[in-house]
Amino acid sequence: MLLQDQKHLFDIPQETTYLNIASQSPSFKAVYQAGLEGLKQKNRPYTIKNSDYFDPVSELKKLFAQLIEAEDYNRIATIPSVSYGIATVANNIKLNPGDEILIIDEQFPSNVYSWQKLAETYNASLKTVSTPKTKTNRALLWNEAILNAINSKTAVVAMGNIHWSNGTLFDLKSIRNKTKDHNALLIIDGSQSVGALPFSVKEFQPDALICAGYKWLFGPYGCAYAYYGDYFDNGSPLEESWMHRLNSENFAGLTNYESQYKPLANRYSVGENGNFIYVKMQIAALKQILEWTPKAIQNYCKSISFEAVETLEKLGCHIEDSNYRTHHLFGIELPNDLDIKALQQDLANENIYVSFRGNFIRISCHLFNTSKDFEPLITCLSKYL
């Protein structure tokens, strides 16, 4: 399916160049309207039925399960943040002294701090696979280094399937095979990929997949998703919510305290996960993403960015080879002597929104962008190159 730009669905002013969905997505009109419907329901609480606490959440989980090709939606938990999902994972892992937890250089902190704490708790070590210094074949060398770092001491590999600051693609199939060889868990942060890049839990078989919901999944800030594999089927949740126990739909019998959780990952959802406003917005968002499809989104982003990438490379910027990075998110590596503060100010003056990550400008585009959105960015950058 060849998508056309969907700018008409968004409320982005013509004079604004927004290439920063990796930080925060704009809402499209259906998501905005769903949020208003949720507000109306809250405004008249006597219209809220018992089933409204549960049925929409089940629908939401089914949609996310469909997006990542998970067979059972009961393996999906709705959570408030990536840090919550990662903390749940770490809470259910026991290590031996000397075990290693493997992470990637300059990984997002929500997928680092819990591992630091876990390593300290069990006298294990946190091992970081550094970014190769060379620009030539960087992604290939990085993937080789990750595979070489997995050994008999490795207990956990925790990483994104792409790098959050520059879009480098990691070879999850090979990494999964190597972790299985050494009985290590594979925990994936899909926050910067799921929704804009095809991801299948059948294909990659992660032990857990955690995704922020307010970026490529177009949900409100404060929502996220988690998939938990069978390793976590009988684990301990971070909190003991009444909603996660069997028969919790029977409000009249809630004081008949239930010892059994609902099956699989339901125990790991955050309390009050039936948030009427958030859930309605998330359902509207996922329905639209499934209609667009991540594959078509990825192809569209490639089609609108490839000419800009060629121009930027001619100007002296380094961008990873297109075969080893994503197209919805990629990094423009700047020359070391460039005045970044002055560039940031110029971009702000021109209403151009991007992210700076170290010596990279992180570009993240979507269906509300067209190839013309890259022209003011290139014009501004060319002054410094």
CATH of domain 7-19+293-382: 3.90.1150.10
CA angle 314, 315, 321 (to 5 degrees): 50
CB count in 10 Å sphere of residue 21: 24
pLDDT at 1 over 70: no
**Does pTM surpass 0.85?**
yes
How far, CA to CA in Å, does 12 sit from each of 92, 283, 348? 43, 22, 16
pLDDT of residue 334: 85
Is residue 368 within 8 A of residue 26, CB to CB? The reply is yes
Token representation of residue 348: 């702000």
For the ranges 79-88, 144-153, 272-281, 356-365, which has the lowest average pLDDT? 356-365
Residues of the chain with CATH 3.90.1150.10: 7-19+293-382
pLDDT at 99 over 70: yes
Residues of the chain with CATH 3.40.640.10: 39-291
Pick among 3.40.640.10, 3.20.20.70, 3.30.2130.10, 3.90.180.10: CATH of 39-291: 3.40.640.10
316 — pLDDT class (breaks 50, 70, 90): confident
Those residues with Cβ within 8 angstroms of residue 125's Cβ, 6 or more apart along the chain or in another chain: 98, 99, 100, 101, 119
Q: Which DSSP string do the residues of 215-269 spell out, in sequence order?
A: STT---TT-EEEEE-GGGTT---SS--GGGBTTTT-GGGTTS---PBPSGGGGGS
- pLDDT tens, 287-315? 999 999 999 999 999 999 999 999 999 99
Query: In DSSP terms, which residues pair with 318 in a beta bridge?
Result: 333
What is the average pLDDT across 110-126?
97
Task: Kindly tell me the number of DSSP H helices and DSSP E strands found in the chain.
Answer: 11, 12
How far apart CA 303 and CA 21 sit, in angstroms, is 17
